[in-house]
Amino acid sequence: WGIPIDLEQFKWGGQDGLKIDAEVERTRQLTIEEEISLWAVLADGYHGLIELYIISGKRASIWRDLTKAQVSLANRTVRVRLLKKKGGWQWKTYDLTDRELEIITEAMAKSNHDTAVFTAPSRRPGDKGKRRPITQQML
């Protein structure tokens, strides 16, 4: 329209500005003291699962929902189902490190469940103490 605009007159950032500030990243590392406290209060059954999250960097659901059928101790692999961005599922096989294999082997030995690898003692009144698969809510 031919009307000159002085862009310097606008406040471009901040709380009242025209642009939204970039979101601040919410992740942080635990301090040594916090990490020691975490391991001390974790209930039975969670130590191996949490260690897998830390050492592998894989999605929580990959390990939490792992079934015995997906594990090949002889081949040192796990076969997991991944959701692809364009829709649909795809199976992917991961090689296990020595420590990952050790954790999974220990979890399978403790598990009394037919399919689940990772189980923990229930806190429900009806089946208190009985091992059951770890769910998102339990975590």
Q: pLDDT per residue over 64-85, tens digit each? A: 999 999 999 999 999 998 877 7
What's the mean pLDDT in 82-93? 80
Q: Please give the pLDDT value at position 129.
A: 76
What integer pLDDT is reported at residue 137 of this predicted model?
87
93 has a pLDDT exceeding 60:
yes
pLDDT of residue 127: 81
Residues in the chain: 139
Confidence check: pLDDT of 86 > 80: no
SS3 73: coil
Which residues, at least 6 apart from 31, have a Cβ–Cβ distance to it below 8 Å?
none
Closest CA to 103 of 85, 76, 84, 126: 76
Pull the structure tokens for residue 16.
């009242």
**pLDDT (mean) for 10-20:** 62
Query: What is Dmax (Cα atoms) for the chain?
Result: 77
Q: Where are the alpha helices (DSSP H) in 19-133?
A: 32-41, 47-56, 60-64, 98-110
Confidence of residue 139 (pLDDT cuts 50, 70, 90): confident
Q: What percent of the chain has pLDDT over 70?
A: 89
* Mean pLDDT calculated for residue range 44-53: 90
